[in-house]
Amino acid sequence: MKKTVINRWVILGAFATAGFLLLLSFILGLGFTAPIEDSANWQLAALTVIPGPTSTPRVAPVPTHDPALGTATPLPGELALNGFAQISGTDGEGLRLRQNPGLEGEALFLGYDTEVFGILDGPVEKDGYIWWFLSAPYDDARAGWAVSDFLEAIPAP
């Protein structure tokens, strides 16, 4: 004896339920139409246009001497001691920070694009590159020498 899972009464019941819901939706939809209003009674909203900010003309900065530091204040965009640098231009590969300046220095860890470091020492010229000693402001263990080609000077965070 073959037992069927779906019989004709289940199918007829499903069609009857679907038909009832369709008829009910149609009847309710006809009874609740939105009234059409005359468009002459509409009021336009008052609109105030606020112009966007304009750029402030930039004055070329001039290095100044700070007697307390004993060195000239660096120009914006230049890497300098006690400044901050952001890693950029590695195309997602990361920048090796090394124990010593130079290509023979042991790689300690990778710094990734947009990661920010404080500049604690440098510049040191070695192996055809300029090297800076960087330290992460949030973790003193993330410190090492990095090539300036992949560093961008940024203002203090």
Instruction: Give residue-wise pLDDT tens across range 65-120.
Output: 556 655 555 566 788 888 899 999 898 899 999 999 999 999 999 999 989 999 99
**Is 80 exceeded by the pLDDT of residue 140?**
yes
pLDDT tens string 11-37: 899 999 999 999 988 888 766 666 666
Ranges 4-8, 23-27, 121-125, 141-145: which has the least confidence: 4-8
What ranges do the domains of the chain cover?
79-154
Please compute the mean of the pLDDT values over residues 126-144 and round it to a whole number.
Answer: 91
CA distance 86 to 29: 61
**Is 90 exceeded by the pLDDT of residue 49?**
no
Residue 40 or 124, more confident: 124
Q: Is the pTM of this model over 0.75?
A: no
Task: State the pLDDT at residue 1.
Answer: 56
The fourth-level CATH superfamily of domain 79-154 is SH3 Domains (2.30.30.40)
Please compute the mean of the pLDDT values over residues 125-135 and round it to a whole number.
Answer: 93
